[in-house]
Amino acid sequence: MSFDVLQDKIRAMKNPTVAGLDPKLEYIPPHILEHQIALHGTTLRAAAEAVLAFNCGLIDALCDIVPAVKPQSAYYEMLGSCGIEALERTIQYAKSKDLFVIADIKRGDIGSTAAAYSQAYLDCVSIGSETFEPFPCDAVTVNAYLGSDGLRPFLETCEKRDKCIFALVKTSNPSSGELQDLIAGDRFVYTVVGDLIQRLGKGTEGQYGFSRMGAVVGATYPMDLRSLRRRLEHVFFLVPGYGAQGGSGDDVRHAFNQFGHGAIVNSSRGIICAWQKTGKNGTDYQDAARAAALEMRDDLRRFISIV
């Protein structure tokens, strides 16, 4: 679905938060994993079923207060095909609860391969006369290192299927500057990428003014966030780095425009690992996640007024 749908959900909940579903095994409450091991033995299948159960519980606890979830593909791939099945079922369950689903896959490849990825995550795959949607997401993250060839197939799919993508522009990690902050001519490399995104997306803007090409811009570099917000008026931002990585509510406010629109802030560990701080060994993981999400929402509301 387009950024209009996401922005509407954010406005309705007055909460520009996406909950990152990054289910490392040590983030899963012990009783959930133990139950699945009792059923399936100590296997990848047991771990994957535990991931799914954990995610479904989190989605139940969050779906009326958080507009979107973002599963990080790596933690599902770690469990092989069983893990990917848990990813498929997590996406389906989140969609059944009317959440906006961003698959954090950070794929980037040559045109023909990018077309395959966009079919898998944003479109459908045809076998004979049947069609299938392996991963029925609303949006994915992509890597723009290969240039526009690798982005256009995604954009074409987005237009056809009313979806959108986020390309990595300025990432939240400590070494992001090694390449992204290089100066090429009169622009940072990340600015070149941002400008490319805005140019490619031109003409696909929705009612809030945002095109189908979004950008990932980290909370950990608030001054870059601010300058990119001003420059990329039509680009919706996905903002990682809040909470565990060090970004604050005061930092992320720079991601929003004067109407409080145009960005969604991710928190993964802060929400899904909240149970580790209550001393109840994870039996309260749903309540803990909900309380953490409400605390984050209220923190963001202190800095951002959503019209």
Among 92, 98, 179, 280, binds its own copies (CB under 8 A): 179
Least separation, in Å, of the C-beta of 95 and its own copies? 15
- Residue 150 in the binding site for its own copies (CB under 8 A): yes
Nearer to its own copies, 176 or 267 (CB): 176
User: Is 106 among the catalytic positions?
Assistant: yes
Among 21, 32, 47, 300, binds its own copies (CB under 8 A): 47
- Residue 92 in the binding site for its own copies (CB under 8 A): no
**Please, which of residues 99-138 interact with its own copies by CB under 8 A?**
106-111, 113-114, 116-117, 119-121, 125, 127-130, 132, 134-135
- Residue 172 in the binding site for its own copies (CB under 8 A): yes
Least separation, in Å, of the C-beta of 37 and its own copies? 7
3-state secondary structure the chain: CCHHHHHHHHHHHCCCEEEEECCCHHHCCHHHHHHHHHHHCCCHHHHHHHHHHHHHHHHHHHCCCCCEEEEECHHHHCCHHHHHHHHHHHHHHHHHCCCEEEEEEEECCCHHHHHHHHHHHHCCEEECCEEECCCCCCEEEECCCCCHHHCHHHHHHHHHHCCEEEEEEECCCHHHHHHHCCEECCEEHHHHHHHHHHHHHCCCCCCCCCCCEEEEECCCCHHHHHHHHHHCCCCCEEECCEHHHCECHHHHHHHCCCCCCCEEEEECHHHHCHHHHCCCCCCCHHHHHHHHHHHHHHHHHHHCCCC
- Residue 204 in the binding site for its own copies (CB under 8 A): no
- Residue 250 in the binding site for its own copies (CB under 8 A): no
**Please, which of residues 183-202 interact with its own copies by CB under 8 A?**
183-185, 189, 192-193, 196
The stretch near its own copies (CB under 8 A) out of 69-77, 155-163, 271-279, 294-302 is 69-77
Least separation, in Å, of the C-beta of 306 and its own copies? 28
Which residues belong to the active site?
106
